[in-house]
A and B are shown apart, each in its own frame.
Chain A
Amino acid sequence: MLDCTPKDITERKSGGIINPAKTCQPIGAMYAALGIHKCLPHSHGSQGCCSYHRMHLTRHFRDPVMASTSCFTEGSSVFGGGANLKASIQNVFHIYKPDVMAIHTTCLTETIGDDVSSIIKTAEIAEGKLVIHANTPSYVGSHITGFSNMTKAMVSYLAKSTSPEKKEQANIIPGFVNPGDMREIKRLVESMGIEYIMFPDTSGVVDSPMTGEFEMYPEGGTTVEQLQDTGNSQITLALGRFASSDPADLLNKDYKVPVATLKTPIGIKATDALLMTLRNSFAREIPKELEIERGQLVDIMTDTHFHFHGKTVAIFGDPDIVTGITEFVLSLGMVPLHVLTGTPGGSSSSAAGSFEDDINGMLKGAGIEANVKSAGDLFTLHQWIKNQPVDLLIGNTYGKYIARAEDVPFMRVGFPILDRSVHSYLPIVGYRGGMRLIEMISNALLDRADRDAKDEDFELVM
């Protein structure tokens, strides 16, 4: 099935994409905006885009995703969308009553050149209500860029510095991860006894509990007061530089909040780095319970390393997640042969180098040569795998076609996951997340080994 992919790799002149490994900016902006308490994301463009973004997020989180749209018509595309946006601002606050309206643009409004910030400035906005916006043209970057841009807008519109003295608190930008990951990161920080502001924070919004009532604005999300207070924090931890370093840098530039840009805390090394940074910045001890968790993870790794050693793996998805997973599987002795993200390049203004450099650096350290690519697509990944098969494929739902065509065990991680549930509740970050990842990898590899074993090789104990 679906095996139309030719094995021979020929140069692709067109620059088009076959089977994307990314999607567009606005959906990332919408997701970020959901992480503000009582915020309604607003899509400035045609209603179709908004509908698609909501649908996609709904499929991933299996929770209602609310967002409004400017509902463009032919007229607005000719004369500009100013009138539509102003009407939208009025209607949104009147009908849906959020505290914050977070506008993102779409390709259409970017192309016709609507100047959203001037439109906002001249719009009537009710007392006590806030409107922020991010420009999110999809012909630049990916959904990760959109997430970063909206998070940046939270800083540029809302952050303040109210005193020259910094407070003893950390800003934490978790990046484009699941609410389950955000909860886990918060738990780590809390257990160190450190005050913090996480933004955006979609936990309690897209993983809200069943109450028998539909809450347009569930309890979760970073509050406006917290966002305003980010300028007073002593440090910003940007977790995952593609999604998080731009907003952190802006806080530094505008309010002199120093930045620590770290990897998404996947696996031992990256989680250690997070905790050590917190420890050093706030002079706290790592609590016993985290020491124990770490010890347990190491114990599990040693108990099972023989299952993983030398197993080849292909990894694709969003750059911050892929970077973290690559580092973690290397620490298990696995061999990444193909590593790909659909998101292009490095994050726009960060000087921290590129995805390909990061991954190649890690691989070089392990003495492995591999195919590594940013701005790639799944057609390319599939061709790579055809030429150099792997034992395991790790990525989002779209990997299932390749897994089936090539009969490779497949482990779902990242965004979007449209065909399984619960993934957004359970973390892959932190030591506990590391345990979960090992469980997932073992299940994928060992279920396959059991399935394929000859009777005489079929074993009870593995």
Chain B
Amino acid sequence: MAADLAESIIERDEFIVTKGKNKKQLKCDADSSAGCVSQRACVYCGARVVLNPITDAIHLVHGPIGCATYTWDIRGSLSSGAELYRNSFSTDLKEQDIIFGGAKKLAAAIDGLVEKYQAKLVFVYSTCIVGVIGDDLEAICSAASRRHNIEVIPVESSGFIGNKSAGYRAAGDALLRLIKPFESTVVEKNNSINYLGDFNLAGEAWIIQNYLRQMGVELNVTFTGDSHYTALKSAPNARLNIIQCAGSMIYLAGKMEELYQIPYIQISFLGIEDTAASLRNIAAALGEESMIVKAEELIAKETARVENIIKGYRAKLEGKKAAIFVGGGFKAISLIKQFREIGIDVVMIGTQTGRKEEYEIMNELVDDGTVILDDANPAELEKFMMEKGANLLVGGVKERPLAYKLGIAFIDHNHDRKHPLSGFEGAVNFAEEVYSTVCSPVWKSLTSLGMGSGVENHG
């Protein structure tokens, strides 16, 4: 493998830097090159991930079957109410639809579904093929909207016009349409806040909602974890937007500021340090004395509760090395800090869609010698993890078996996470998860099998 790599790395040179070594700028946010084993997803994927947690909507994928099958309930977004979003709806385009257009079929599918499920909200996702056959989603959706007197919103997510980030934007546009007040309604401001960029994976949004409640902050609606039609409609009433997953939400937040005069602040609930800072920032932004006091109380109470547990893990994990390969840059930044809290150094860090500013922050945070890379392929991940002696990889579905094959521990910080990783309890879960994989006895079996010198316990 190593010999082959030399060449691949020459070609992708601009997308990889080592801190301290090269002064050059990392190249990012470019299209992947033809013929690569890219880990990247498509526009539709980005849009679907953002909108899917809206629980009482019909998410109808206009396209051939696959695009719908692969996104059927794969995101572990939890709901406290409706479960409609967990079904998979597709127009299942066939050859004749490709030739004659899929408009009729789409209209009929919307009619059938609305009748069956009595939904108030339908999202119609466009896939690559629809962009090519040219169905007029806008017209079909507004006709259906009038017919049923509900909201039928097209999501312009044809996949080839960019990567996941473009999908976030398409989702943002769909959300803006959704929250647009009806002509007859006047936006009445209240004292609440919107929480943007939490998809309630493993119930994470609920943890944060609970903190806010304890601080006396009224949460208006979460975009989009465990949200529903009526709650989302009230979004313009809020006083402040807080954004957790910036990659997917910054566009929407900007627009909401422009249209509804809602200012926003970026926060992060990953790790104790960032969680505490975020709660303080929220209280400060709202400016109410009582909230500031309660935030401090909450932080003191929670920190005291988890500090020792984290310390315990830290003692066991001190000196281990982590590699990070996640979707967005913002998450990567938080992870660097969070690893520091449990005594782990980050030796390699990469993202699928990180932006330039984010890479700059990462570069500041990490130690000299850390490899930073954009849109990595598996061979690169392997090379740098081995070279840098990583004990642990943080990644998504496709990276998991790769890490395991190398005898490297793994945690999923994406769709497949099983425990909430937000807030103070999330920090504990995170440490626990890292510990249970890095220090698992399974790695010992590798050496005792005596399968040759290649197998070492990196844990």
A: residues with CB less than 8 A from B are: 1-4, 6, 12-20, 22-27, 40, 42, 45-56, 58-59, 62-74, 76-77, 84-85, 87-92, 94-97, 106-108, 111-112, 137-140, 142, 208-216, 379, 398, 401
Contact = CB atoms under 8 A, between A and B. Distances in A.
B93 interface: yes
Contacts of B407: 210, 212
Given A107-B63, A108-B132, A71 B31 contact: yes
A15 B446 contact: no
Given A54-B398, A63-B401, 6 more contacts: A18-B87, A51-B42, A71-B36, A108-B160, A212-B451, A213-B1
Given A91-B34, A107-B63, A212 B93 contact: no
B117 A4 contact: yes
A25 B127 CA distance: 16
Contact of B90 (A17, A49, A77): A17
A111 B132 contact: yes
A16, A66, A112, most chain B CB atoms within 10 A: A16
A214 B402 contact: yes
Interface stretch (B64-72, B216-224, B245-253, B421-429): B64-72
B84 interface: yes
Q: Sort chain B's interface into a size bin.
A: 35 or more
Interface string B55-75: 000001001111111111000
Contact of A71 (B34, B65, B405, B452): B34
A213 B94 contact: no
A42 to B, nearest CB: 7
B6 to A, nearest CB: 10
Contacts of B37: 40, 66-69, 96
B4 A96 contact: yes
A16 B92 contact: yes
Given A22-B65, A68-B36, A14 B108 contact: yes
Contacts of A211: 405, 451-452, 454-455
Contacts of A25: 66
B318 interface: no
B38 interface: yes
Contact of A91 (B36, B70, B84): B36
A142 B193 CA distance: 46
B83 A213 contact: no
B70 A55 contact: yes
Interface in B144-183: 159-161, 163
B98 A139 contact: yes
Contacts of B35: 42, 68-71, 87-92, 95
Interface string B379-416: 10010000000000000011011101111000000000
Interface string B32-54: 11111111111111000000000
Given A23-B69, A88-B34, A214-B378, A16 B405 contact: no
Nearest to B73: A401
Contacts of A71: 31-36, 38
Contact of B455 (A65, A139, A212): A212
A48 B112 contact: no
Contacts, number: 270
Contacts of B357: none
6 contacts: A15-B94, A47-B40, A73-B31, A84-B34, A107-B127, A111-B129
Given A17-B65, A64-B405, A56 B92 contact: no
A88 B37 CA distance: 10
B364 interface: no
Contact of B454 (A13, A67, A87, A212): A212
Interface of B: 1, 4, 7-8, 11, 31-45, 60, 63-72, 83-84, 86-95, 97-98, 105, 108-109, 111-113, 116-117, 127-129, 131-133, 159-161, 163, 378-379, 382, 397-398, 400-402, 404-407, 446, 451-452, 454-456
A62 B416 CA distance: 13
Contacts of A62: 400-401
Nearest to B442: A210
Nearest to B131: A77
Given A1-B83, A14-B112, A213 B406 contact: yes
B323 to A, nearest CB: 13
A135 to B, nearest CB: 12
Contacts of A111: 98, 129, 132-133
B34 A94 contact: no
Contact of A16 (B86, B109, B161, B406): B109
B348 to A, nearest CB: 15
Given A52-B66, A89-B35, A96-B4, A13 B108 contact: yes
A64 B95 contact: no
A144 to B, nearest CB: 12
B408 to A, nearest CB: 9
B86 A2 contact: yes
A15 B129 contact: no
B401 A77 contact: no
A4 B65 contact: no
B7, B38, B404, most chain A CB atoms within 10 A: B38
Given A58-B401, A63-B401, A71-B32, A17 B89 contact: yes
Nearest to B45: A48
A74 B160 contact: yes
A109 B94 CA distance: 15
B258 to A, nearest CB: 27
Nearest to B128: A108
B69, B72, B129, most chain A CB atoms within 10 A: B69
Contact of A214 (B34, B65, B405): B405
A390 to B, nearest CB: 21
B69 A48 contact: no
B384 to A, nearest CB: 12
A58 B34 contact: no
B70 A23 contact: yes
A65 B68 contact: no
Nearest to A342: B65
B65 A24 contact: yes
B40 A51 contact: yes
Given A46-B42, A108-B160, A214-B406, A52 B70 contact: yes
Nearest to A76: B160
A137 B66 contact: no
Contacts of B159: 46, 48-49, 108
Contact of B66 (A2, A19, A24, A214): A24
A251 B105 CA distance: 39
